[in-house]
Structures are given as C-alpha cells and as structure tokens.
Amino acid sequence: MSQARPPDPAPGDPSPGRRLLRMARPRATKANALAALLAILLGFAVATQVRQNQSLGLESLRQSELVNILDNATLRERTLDQTARELQATRDQLVSGSTGGAAALKAAQERLDALRILAGTARASGPGIRLTISDPGAKVTSPVLLDSVQELRDAGAEAIQVNNIRIVASSHFNQGASGIEIDGKSVGPPYTITAIGDPATMSSAMEIPGGLSENVRQLGATITITESKDLTVGALHPLSTPRYARPVPQPAPTSAP
Amino acid sequence: MIPALGLLVGLAVGLFLHPAVPLALQPYLPIAVIAALDAVFGGVRAVLDGIFNDKVFVVSFLSNVVVAAFIVFLGDQLGVGSQLSTGVVVVLGIRIFSNVASIRRHLFRA
C-alpha cells in the first residue's frame, strides 16, 4: 500500500522543498529505475485510458449498463412500433376514404354520362346503323318516321338522330303544311337516321316483313341501311328547364301513400 | 526527477501510439490508474515526511494496482462490479485528497 503515515517531520530536517529537490536528483539505484519504469507505465495507462474513454463504445460498458441500454432501446422500440401502427391505421383509413370517394365520383360520372346521352345533351358515338330514306315523291309522312324511331328503340337504339335533330324522350313528330316537323323544325327528304346500338339487331328489325323497309318501299321511296362499327350522333338537344314539373323530393318509402 | 520524466514519456508514448485496451483489461485499467495515482501521491508525501523509501514506493505502487484491479474483478464476479468500482474510486479519491492535503501543508505550511 501507499506510504501514507502520520507526518512526523523531525526537527532540524531540511525544508520540505529542499528535501523534494534532493529526492528529485537522479540516483542510479535499482529502485529508482523501477520507479521510473512504473511512472512510464502509469503515464502510458493514463493516456490510454483517456483516449479509450473519448472513443467510448458499447464494448467497454458493464453488463448492467448494457442491460439498461437494451431496456431503454426495447422500450423506445415498443413506443415507436405503437406510433408506427397508429400512423399506418390512419394512412389506411385515409387511403380507403379517398378510394371510396374516387369510386363514388366514378359512379356519379357514369350516371351523368348515361343521363346526358338520354337527355341528348352529349354527343354519342359507337356501333350502329345509318338509314337513308330517299323520298322523291314526298310520300313519307311523320307517322312513318315516328314508326322508324319506335322500331329502332324497340331494337335497342340508345341514341338517335334524324337529319340533324336529336331524338329524345320529349321529341314530337308533326305533319305540318310544309312537311314533316320534328320538335317544331321542318325536316325534308332525304331523311338520314343515325342510331347507336347493336347494328345487327337494329338492321334486322328494319328488314322484318311488315316492318319499316317494306312500308317505305310500298310508299315508293327507297331505303338504304348501312351498319357501321363507329358512328357518331352529333346533334344535341337543347336542355330546357321544366316550367311546371318539379322533382318530388325522395321521401322515406313509408310516408308514400 | 527520473520518475517524473518517465511519467511524461509514458504520456507521450500513449498519446502517439493510440494503443487499444484489451477487452479483458477494460474494466480494470481506470481503477488501476487511480490506485497508481494514490501510490504516487503517497510517495510524494513520504518524501516530504522524510520517510521515503524507493523499495516501499515500488511495492506499494504495484500492490495498490493489483489490489484495486482484484477488487473490481471480484465485484464483477459477484455481480456488484460497478458499485464496487465506485467504492474503490471513492476510497482512493479520499486517500489522494488527504495525501495532497498533507503535501500542501508541508509545502505551503497551510
């Protein structure tokens, strides 16, 4: 152990400073050399330890400290895991919400397209047939044209145009003094009817015995039917706001009489 | 004088060589350094007391280091390594303080 002993400086001794100086003088003794060696070792150890401490890594820690660090890391991981799960759930909700919104938007768009084609406010294109009735004798009357439109609707036509008038639910045919009027606009021969639908069904519906073709030919007019993969019904029906009819608010079914 | 020079040489060597402490020695080196410092201060105090002996210094230095390391080793084996290290550091710190106080009284008479 060290040489910590109660101090008993003998009187008459040289002063401590001088004693220290005397002791510091190099003495060529074995013990002094050993002490120097130990001092070298001490300095080396101090420097090493300081340097080691500055670059402290996990490997220099004790088991209990490592366990502490591990515990902290586990706890933190659990918290972060929890947070991640919550965020994931929120994200899933948001994604499904937005896809639901997109689906609803798509459905609404499809409904709008269907209604616009029905109301005649949108151009329609697709497979269909084109009827051309040339009527040199002006024998074709409005009931014949109305028949043709009805036949086409029977055969599944989805959009119909006569000359450049779009036929919609409210279209009316009239035999005026100057000829045929559709929706108040006079239509003259030759009549060109464009219908979008299944071409084969519609053309065969036109050709059946007692059907439109036969009637038209009996009147002395000629009819040509052209099936096509891609036709366009380009005429538009001006949209008019109903003056009298009002939509009935959709009540609960129980309140209806 | 020679030991003081040795201390400086050791410091310089340690700073320039970047030695890596072996894993097995890592818990013991700091305690051993503190113990050695205690021995050094004890030696200086002994010089001032007029009772310094080279041989006693060397033996006390070595035994201090070995005992301190052994206590830490024992604490590690018993599972109280960190607490025992703290205890050893405290004891050695108190001894260093008392030695330094004694040295101070010799040198400054205060």
A96 with A149, same domain: the answer is no
Most confident of the ranges A143-147, A150-154, B87-91: B87-91
- Nearest alpha carbon to residue A169 among A149, A190, A151: A149
Whether A110 and A137 share a structural domain:
no
Q: Is the domain of A219 the same as that of A140?
A: yes
- Smallest CA–CA distance, residue A21 to chain B, in Å, is 9
Check CB contact of B6 with chain A, cutoff 8 Å. Answer: yes
Domain that residue A181 falls in = 125-233
Please name which of B53, B39, B48, B45 lies closest in space to residue B7, comparing C-alpha atoms. B39
What's chain A look like in SS3? CCCCCCCCCCCCCCCHHHHHHHHHCCCCCHHHHHHHHHHHHHHHHHHHHHHHHHCCCHHHCCHHHHHHHHHHHHHHHHHHHHHHHHHHHHHHHHHHHHHHHHHHHHHHHHHHHHHHHHHCCCCEEEEEEEEEEECCCCCCCHHHHHHHHHHHHHCCCCEEEECCEEECCCCCEEEECCEEEECCEEECCCEEEEEECCHHHHHHHHHCCCCHHHHHHHCCCEEEEEEEEEEEECCCCCCCCCCCCCCCCCCCHHHCC
A132 assigned to some structural domain: yes
Q: Would an 8 Å CB–CB cutoff place B29 in contact with chain A?
A: yes
Asked whether residue A77 falls in the same domain as residue A118, the answer is: yes
Position A4 pLDDT exceeds 50:
no
Spatial strand order in the sheet of A191-196 = A165-167, A159-162, A191-196, A124-134, A222-233
Q: What's the confidence (pLDDT) of residue A26? A: 66
Q: Which of A100, A122, A144 is the last residue of a domain?
A: A122
Tokens for A140, please give them.
């074709």
Per-residue confidence in pLDDT tens, chain B, 110 aa:
677 778 888 888 888 887 777 777 777 888 888 998 899 899 888 888 888 888 888 888 899 999 988 988 888 888 888 888 888 899 999 999 999 999 888 888 87
Q: Mean of the per-residue pLDDT values for chain A?
A: 81
Under the banding of pLDDT at 50, 70 and 90, the label for residue A13 is low
Statement to judge: residues A185 and A89 lie in one domain: no
Q: Are residues A226 and A146 in the same domain?
A: yes
**Is the domain of A214 the same as that of A116?**
no
CB-based contact, B41 to chain A, within 8 Å? yes
Spatial distance between the Cα atoms of B90 and B69, rounded to a whole number of angstroms: 15
Instruction: Kindly determine whether residue A39 and residue B13, on different chains, have CB atoms separated by under 8 Å.
Output: no
What are the pLDDT digits (tens) for A163-193? 888 888 888 888 877 778 888 888 877 888 8
| Residue A140 belongs to some domain of the structure | yes
Any A CB within 8 A of B27 CB? yes
Where does the pLDDT of residue A74 fall: very low under 50, low under 70, confident under 90, or very high at 90 and above? very high
Whether A207 shows a pLDDT value over 90: the answer reads no
- Residue A2: is its pLDDT beyond 60? no
Tokens found for residue B98? 């008392």
Query: pLDDT at residue A60 above 70?
Result: no
A135, A117: one domain: no
* B38 within 8 A of A2, measured Cβ to Cβ: yes
Instruction: Report ipTM (2 d.p.).
Output: 0.74
Those of residues 61-100 in B touching chain A at CB distance below 8 A are: 61-64, 67, 76, 81-82, 95, 98-99
Cα–Cα distance for residue pair A239/A119, rounded to 1 Å: 8
Over 90: is that where the pLDDT of A80 sits? Answer: yes
What's the rounded Cα separation, in Å, for the pair A155 and B101? Answer: 118
Do A131 and A110 lie in one domain? The reply is: no
Per-residue confidence (pLDDT) for residue A255, from 0 to 100: 47
Residues of A whose CB is below 8 A from B12 = 43, 47
Overall domain count for chain A: 2
A42 in any annotated domain: no
B2-17 vs A30-54: helix crossing angle, rounded to 10 = 30
Last residue of a domain, one of A76, A93, A122: A122
- Residues of chain B with C-beta less than 8 angstroms from the C-beta of A47: 10-15
* Cα dihedral sign, A107-A109-A113-A118: positive
A110 and A146, same domain (yes or no): no
Say what the pLDDT of residue A256 is.
44
Q: Where are the domains of chain B?
A: 24-108
The minimum CA-CA distance between B90 and chain A, rounded to whole Å, is 16
Q: Do A129 and A207 share a domain, yes or no?
A: yes
Task: Return the pLDDT at A62.
Answer: 74
pTM for the model stands at 0.43
Q: Which of B23, B25, B47, B102 to mutate to test the interface with A (most CBs of A within 10 A)?
A: B47
Name the nearest CA neighbour of A129 among A253, A59, A34, A223: A223
**Could you tell me if residue A239 is inside a domain?**
no
Residue A100 lies in a domain: yes
Find, in chain B, the residue whose alpha carbon is nearest to that of A17: B107
Q: Say which of A1, A4, A43 has its CB closest to residue B63.
A: A1
pLDDT at A254: 58
For residue A5, pLDDT beyond 60: no
